[in-house]
C-alpha cells in the first residue's frame, strides 16, 4: 500500500474523513485508483508491478485476475486493467462488498472481501483491519459475499465514475469482475428491500463479530 497519503488529494479522490489516513484507506477499498497501491515493495513484486505498470501482457494479467488464492483487491485491479483495454472478462465474479452508512458525526465504512479480509473505518476516522480473521469473522464475511451475489445477479454494473460518499442514504457497493455495482436508499427502506436487506443484515452481523473479536485499530 502506498505511504503518501497526500496522493488522495493529488488525484482529486473523495475525502469524507478529517483524518488523512482514513481517506487513504477508504479510497483503497474501491480499487479504482491503482496509484494508491504503489510502494517500493509492490514494485519488487512481479504481479503488483505488472498491474501498477499498466501492463499489456494481458494473458499474464488474466492469470492474476482469475487466481482465487490472490488478494481480492489485486484481482480487482487486474479485472479493471483488462476492461480498460477492452479485453474480455467473466461476468459476476464478486470480490468485495463495501457498506457506507452516514452517521450524525460522519461516515461509517465497512468492507468485506472474498479473500476473507475485513476493513472498517469509523466515522471518527479510526481504522480497523482483519488480515487473518478468526473463524467467527470469516463466517460472517463469507455470508456478506454470498448474499451480495443475489443483488449482483439482479442488477448491472454502474457505467459512470464512482459517486461521492453518501451523506443521507446507505450505500452498498459491490466490486465485481465486470465493474462496480451498487444500491442505496434510506436505512429502513434498504433493510426491507428483498435484495439489499439480507446483505445489509449480514453487514451488521459482520461488524458486530469483528468488533467482539477485537478488530485491530490503527
Confidence category of residue 213, pLDDT binned at 50, 70, 90: confident
- The reported pLDDT for the residue numbered 1 is 47
Q: Rounded to 5 degrees, what are φ and ψ at 80?
A: -60, -40
Q: Can you tell me which residue has the cell 512481479?
A: 46
Closest CA to 110 of 188, 189, 210: 210
Q: How many CB atoms lie within 10 A of CB 129?
A: 16
pLDDT confidence of 216, banded at 50, 70, 90? low
Query: What confidence tier does 4 reach under pLDDT thresholds 50, 70, 90?
Result: low
Taking residue 140's Cβ as centre, other Cβ atoms within 10 Å add up to 22
Q: Left (φ > 0), alpha (ψ -120 to 50) or beta: where does 110 sit? A: beta
Q: Which alpha helices (H) appear in 29-184, and where do they start and end?
A: 40-44, 46-52, 58-65, 72-84, 135-154
What is d(CA 131, CA 216) in angstroms, rounded to the nearest whole number? 9
Q: Residue 218 — pLDDT band, cuts 50, 70, 90?
A: very low
pLDDT tens readout for residues 56-107 = 899 999 999 999 999 999 999 999 999 999 999 999 999 999 999 999 999 9
CA distance 198 to 190: 9
CA dihedral of residues 131, 175, 31, 206 (deg, nearest 10): -30
What average pLDDT does this structure show over 21-41? 93
Q: Enumerate the domain spans of the chain.
A: 7-84, 94-217
- pLDDT computed for residue 55 by the predictor: 75
- Helices vs. strands in the chain: H and E counts, helices first: 9, 7
Residue 95, Ramachandran bin (φ over 0: left; ψ between -120 and 50: alpha; else beta): alpha
Segment 109-163, tens digit of pLDDT: 999 999 999 999 999 999 999 888 889 999 999 999 999 999 999 999 999 999 9
Bridge partners for 41 per DSSP:
none
pLDDT of residue 215: 60
| Per-residue pLDDT tens over the stretch 158-183 | 999 999 999 999 999 999 999 999 99
Mean pLDDT in the chain? 92
State CA 72 to chain mean position distance: 9
Question: How many Å apart are CA 32 and CA 121, to the nearest integer?
Answer: 18
Amino acid at each position: 500500500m502506498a505511504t503518501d497519503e497526500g496522493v488522495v488529494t493529488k488525484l482529486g479522490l473523495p475525502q469524507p474523513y478529517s483524518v488523512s489516513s482514513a481517506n487513504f484507506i477508504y479510497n483503497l477499498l474501491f480499487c479504482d485508483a491503482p496509484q494508491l497501491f504503489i510502494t517500493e515493495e509492490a514494485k519488487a513484486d512481479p504481479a503488483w508491478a505488472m498491474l501498477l505498470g499498466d501492463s499489456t501482457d494481458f494473458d499474464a494479467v488474466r492469470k492474476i485476475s482469475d487466481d482465487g488464492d490472490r488478494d481480492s483487491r489485486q484481482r480487482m485491479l487486474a479485472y479493471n486493467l483488462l476492461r480498460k483495454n477492452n479485453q474480455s472478462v467473466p461476468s459476476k465474479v464478486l470480490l468485495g462488498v463495501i457498506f457506507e452508512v452516514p452517521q450524525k458525526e460522519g461516515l461509517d465504512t465497512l468492507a468485506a472481501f472474498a479473500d476473507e479480509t475485513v476493513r472498517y473505518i469509523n466515522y471518527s476516522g479510526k481504522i480497523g483491519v482483519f488480515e487473518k480473521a478468526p473463524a467467527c469473522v470469516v463466517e460472517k464475511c463469507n455470508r456478506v459475499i454470498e448474499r451480495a451475489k443475489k443483488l449482483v445477479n439482479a442488477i448491472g454494473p454502474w457505467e459512470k465514475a464512482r459517486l461521492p460518499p453518501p451523506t443521507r442514504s446507505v450505500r452498498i457497493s459491490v466490486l465485481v469482475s465486470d465493474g462496480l455495482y451498487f444500491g442505496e436508499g434510506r436505512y429502513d427502506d434498504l433493510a426491507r428491500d428483498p435484495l439489499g436487506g439480507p446483505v445489509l443484515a449480514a453487514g451488521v452481523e459482520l461488524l458486530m463479530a469483528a468488533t467482539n473479536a477485537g478488530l485491530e485499530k490503527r
